[in-house]
Structure formats: C-alpha cells, structure tokens
Amino acid sequence: MTNAGLDADLQRVYELLVQQVTWEAEGVVSIRLVDPSGAELPAWTPGAHLDLILPSGKMRQYSLCGDPADRAAYTVAVLRDQHGRGGSREIHDTALVGRSLSVRGPRNHFGLVDAPSYLFLAGGIGITPILAMAREVSRLGVPWTLIYGGRSETSMAFLDDLDKLGTGNIEVVPQDVHGMLDLGTVLGRAPRESAIYCCGPEGLIRAAEEHAATRFAPDALHVERFGASSSAPRGGNAIEPESGGNSFEVELRRTGAVLTVPADGTLIDVVREAIPDFLSDCEEGYCGACEVRVLEGEPEHHDQLLTDQERECGDRLMVCVGRSRSARLVLDL
C-alpha cells in the first residue's frame, strides 16, 4: 500500500457531474461525482483528496471517502462550518445535483504505508479519509482498530458504513456520552509496531502527537490537518518560512516565461504574473492546491505537507510558500 504516483499534470482541471448529494449526519453531506460520459475515473488510493472548484470560484480540498474499487464515481463528504471561509456553506446551500464541477486530482499526501497493524484515530469529519483506509485494510485482512470521536452520534457520519465492514475493532466515542477521547490510554494499549493514522481537529492531532512521541517510533504517526500548524505533519519537519531570502529565476517551462523572484518577493506572486488564474487555496503551505512538479533546480520547502523523504526527492513544490536554493528553478507550468 503506497501513495499513487504523481499525476502527469498536477494543475490539470477537468469536469465531473454531481450525480447525488446525500445527508450523512447532522451538518454533513456526501457528494457523488461521475464522469459526464460515463467513463471510468482515474484510480486512487486511501488518503487521497480532490480539489473541487465551486460555482463561486472558491477551491477547496476534500478527502475521498468512497471505495477505491468503485471506478464509476468519486465520493467526498463536507461538514458545514459556520465559522469557515465559506466553501462548506456554499456546498450545503447550493443545488448541485445535475451540475458540473471543475476538479483536480486525486492526489495523495496521506497514503497508507505497509504495517502489521493499524490504529486509526478520527475526529468528526476527519472520518472521511479514515473510512477509505479502514475499507482497504479490512479487505486485506490486516488487524486494525478505529477510535472515532465526535460531538454526538447524530453528528458522526458513516457509522452504518463502518458497521458493514465486519472486521476490525471499532470504538465510537460521542463526547456528549463519554467525554473527550483518552488518547493516552488508547495509544498505550496499541501494539508498538502499529502504523497510526489521525485526522481531525487540531486538538486531537496535537494530543496524538504528544502521546505517540512517548511510545512509538518517530515515523509511526501520520496525520492530516484541516489547517496550518507549527507542528510537524506526517513525521516531516514543518519549516517556518523566512522573511525574504535570495533572489532567483523561475522558468515556467510550458509557458516559456523566465521571471525573477526578488529577495523580498514571493514565488506565487511572480508565477501569477505569467499565469493570472494559477490555482491555489490556503497560501500557508498545508492544503497542497498549488503543488507543481519541479523539472530542474533545488526547491526550498516551507510547507507543512511534504515528508522529509518527499522533500529530499525534490520533484515537487508548494508554490505558495516555496522558494529555490538554486539560482534557477524550472517548474512544469
């Protein structure tokens, strides 16, 4: 079980049809997307996400939560967030069935590694990538445990889907009945060789990092965040961007543009000089929407998404916070 390879064009946008929107729990809907012609969709692996470009032009990332074996459709789920940036409210308030949405992906920065057993920790809508992972390890017959917390059972999506898996050890922990998750106890009883996957609110992830650090190898814990954090994700080292840096040239190979990124300027602003509609979202280095392939040069990473190994490979970069260690950086744009 490994991450899917890099797409040949990380910025490729295509159209999918919204076939169905389903109420899954209090404040949560799922969206089923299909190819308008009925063709099979590109394969994906558990942990992958899609970039959805909403009717307003907002772009948001949502984890695939369906069955990877179902090549006829992609399914994502969206929690209505009254205090968010507006994407989830737009999805919940817009009649989407029957209309096309622009999509990028799937891409995977949260893929399953091979392990003798798995511990999954999900908080709220963080169940979405974890559900696909549980399906996969259940199919493979690998031992696994899922601890799923939420405000209440009525707010916890996909409980019926989890029940249908029939294998694994699933513990549902609604806060209004059982209180907060006791991660110290949960991680204390997990086999030391387990791979741990955690997705949910920042408080859950920070607690998982704190407790896992006392008992497990540094690379045992894999996390996916909803937002930026100074903590290191997925076992990698988050790097704080410096103010300014060295000036360098960036070549956009497909457009033919060669531009200069000044010491006090940003790469993404310069890229937008040549590509005004270049797509990005968080612009803090955690969502992956601006990921591009590096063709030549040595990128300087300031994101919170790539692992140490992925950074060492040097074949991709998050444009919103990235720079270059070499005098010239060539990007597949």
pLDDT above 70 as % of the chain: 92
- Model pTM above 0.95: no
CATH number of the domain within which 201 lies: 3.40.50.80
* Beta strands 144-150; 118-123: pairing state: parallel
Residue 42 forms part of a structural domain: yes
> Do 39 and 103 belong to one domain?
yes
Question: pLDDT tens across 47-56, in order?
Answer: 999 999 999 9
Let me know whether 184 and 270 are in one domain: no
In the predicted model, what is the mean pLDDT of residues 110-126? Answer: 96
Task: Give the largest CA-CA distance in the chain.
Answer: 60
Q: For 54-63, 121-130, 219-228, which range has the lowest pLDDT when averaged over its residues? A: 219-228
Higher-pLDDT residue of 311 and 6 is 311
Shared domain for 103 and 124, answered yes or no, is no
What average pLDDT score do residues 179-189 get? 92
Examine the domain organization and report whether 123 and 226 are in the same domain. yes
6 located within any domain: no
Identify whether residues 38 and 99 lie together within a single domain.
yes
4 within some domain: no
> Confidence band (pLDDT; 50, 70, 90) for 123?
very high
pLDDT of res. 242: 39
205, 235, 265: which is the final residue of a domain?
A: 235
102/71 same-domain check: yes
Same-domain status, 252 and 215: no
Per the domain annotation, does 155 fall within a domain? yes
Residue 132 and residue 103 in one domain = no
Residue 40 three-state SS: coil
* Mean pLDDT of the 211-233 span: 78
- Select the more confidently predicted residue: 241 or 310: 310
Q: Is residue 157 part of a domain?
A: yes
86 is a domain residue: yes
pLDDT digits (tens, 9 = 90+) for 268-307: 999 999 999 888 888 888 888 889 999 999 999 998 888 8
My answer on whether 183 and 264 are in the same domain is: no
CATH of the domain at 322: 3.10.20.30
Both 44 and 92 in a single domain?
Answer: yes
The answer to the question of residue 112 being in a domain is no
In a domain, 3, yes or no: no
**DSSP string of 201-258, one letter each residue:** -HHHHHHHHHHHTTTS-TTSEEEE-SS--SSPGGGS---PPPSS---EEEEETTTTEE
pLDDT band at 235 (very low <50, low <70, confident <90, very high): very low
Q: Which of residues 107, 135, 161 is at a domain's end?
A: 107
Give the pLDDT score at 310.
Answer: 85
138/203 same-domain check: yes
Task: List the domain range (segments joined by +) for residue 151.
Answer: 118-235
One domain for residues 133 and 215: yes
Beta-carbon contacts of residue 157 (< 8 Å; ≥ 6 apart): 24, 25, 28, 30, 77, 125, 127, 128
Tokens, residue 329: 């950086």
CA pair distance 149, 245, nearest whole angstrom: 43
How many domains, the chain?
Answer: 3
Q: What is the CATH number of the domain that holds 70?
A: 2.40.30.10
